[in-house]
Amino acid sequence: MDPQYARLVKAAALSATVLASILLIIKIFAWWHTGSVSLLAALVDSLVDLAASLTNLFVVRYSLQPADEEHTFGHGKAESLAALAQSMFISGSALFLFLTGFQHLASPEPLQGLGVGIWVTLIALFSTLILVTFQRWVVRKTHSQAIRADMLHYQSDVMMNGAILIALALSWYGFHRADALFALGIGVYILYSALRMGYEAVQALLDRALPDAERQEIIDIVMSWPGVIGAHDLRTRQSGPTRFIQLHLEMEDMLPLMQAHILAEQVERALLHRFPGADVLIHQDPCSVVPKERHAHWEL
């Protein structure tokens, strides 16, 4: 496991947990002071954030453990499970917002202490923006699915806090139903984010192949290597930070076994140079045993 990967992923997960804890306390005070259903929505979302981030923190620590006798491919899929759990948490909070929003839409009430609510929402907005910026940088460096799911989660929080600001401003000018309407809109967006996150997690658990662009890079590297006549049966997947790459390499029939081994190792090193930390498995085939229809056959 890359030490930098472990350090960055842990830092991102811990940062999210700390921020969610602080914002939860602040929003409890703001909701108690104003009675705003939009702020109640934000409070519930922060509670879900905290539960999800704590889950993420523990699961990320588990996923970083090295492979063992019982888990020979490592523990990377724990990240996908964390993302799936987060999608369930978020879906629950969205349903709560729908119920509360419809209730307050039917019987709107004037809000109190709007100034406090606006200041708290501004604090939440800017602090969450900072967290999302940091998480995006970590995802760019690590491609961690758990942190990507957390980032999508907090991106929805940025949208939500912006909507709450508008709702509180409209309520200030007497449009009391704005609070409930924006709460419903926030619920729709959060539910959409949860479904998208859950879909991505399930696809990872089902061993979806690497993106087309990455598979094309693998093909280009293999086919450009001197001594390689062709290749076929490319299989790829990703578990946590680790990419798994398997393929059959086609070589000259009379190539000595040692030279075939050296050639396969050279191709493997080239792939590892492009995809550090990948698990590469190459099978060597003499050209004559490969049917013509499978020669240099790639499925993207």
Domain count, the chain: 2
| Six token digits for residue 63 | 């996923």
Residue by residue, pLDDT tens for the chain (300 residues) are 567 777 888 888 888 888 888 888 887 887 787 777 667 767 777 777 787 778 777 777 777 777 778 887 877 788 788 778 778 877 877 787 787 778 777 776 665 666 777 888 888 889 989 999 999 998 888 877 778 777 877 887 787 778 778 877 777 777 767 777 877 887 887 788 788 888 888 888 888 889 899 999 999 999 999 988 888 889 999 887 788 999 999 999 889 999 999 999 999 999 999 998 889 999 999 988 887 766 655 655
Residue 299 lies in a domain: no
Domain-located, residue 300: no
Residue 34 placed within a domain: yes
Cα(15)–Cα(18) distance, integer angstroms: 5
Q: Are residues 133 and 270 in the same domain?
A: no
Residues 198 and 254 in one domain: no
Name the domain boundary from 174, 205, 236. Answer: 205
Does some domain include residue 187?
Answer: yes
Number of H helices, E strands in the chain: 8, 3
Say if residue 95 is in the same domain as residue 110. Answer: yes
Using CA atoms, how far apart are residues 181 and 61, in angstroms rounded to an integer? 40
What's the pTM value of the predicted model, to 2 decimals? 0.66
Rounded to 10 degrees, the C-alpha dihedral 42/46/49/50 comes to: -170
| Same-domain status, 44 and 157 | yes
- Does residue 72 share a domain with residue 22? yes
Q: What is the edge-to-edge ordering of all strands in the sheet holding 279-286?
A: 230-239, 242-251, 279-286
Q: What is the CATH number of the domain that holds 254?
A: 3.30.70.1350
> Do 146 and 220 fall into the same domain?
no
Which residues, 6 or more positions from 25, have their beta carbon under 8 angstroms from its beta carbon? none
Burial per residue of 235-271, b for 16 or more beta-carbon CB atoms within 10 angstroms, e otherwise: ebbbbbbbbbbebbbbbeeebeeeebeebbeebbebb
Q: Which of 205, 240, 267 is the last residue of a domain?
A: 205
Report how far residue 105's alpha carbon sits from residue 116's, in angstroms, rounded to the nearest whole number: 22
Last residue of a domain, one of 205, 234, 250: 205
Q: Angle, nearest 10°, between helix axes 145-172 and 3-34?
A: 20
CA dihedral 24, 26, 29, 33 (to 10 degrees): -120
Q: For residue 189, which amino acid is it?
A: Y
Q: Which domain holds residue 277?
A: 212-294
Which residues does the annotation place in the binding site for Zn(2+)? Answer: 45, 49, 153, 157
139 strand-pairing partners? none
Residues 255, 174 share a domain: no
For residues 148 and 56, state if they share a domain. Answer: yes
In a domain, 157, yes or no: yes
CATH number reported for the structural domain that contains residue 184 in this entry? 1.20.1510.10
Where is the binding site, in residues? 45, 49, 153, 157
The answer on 174 and 140 residing in a single domain is yes
| Inside any domain, residue 185 | yes
Q: Tell whether 69 is covered by a domain.
A: yes
Dist. CA 68–CA 77, nearest whole Å: 14
58 domain-assigned = yes
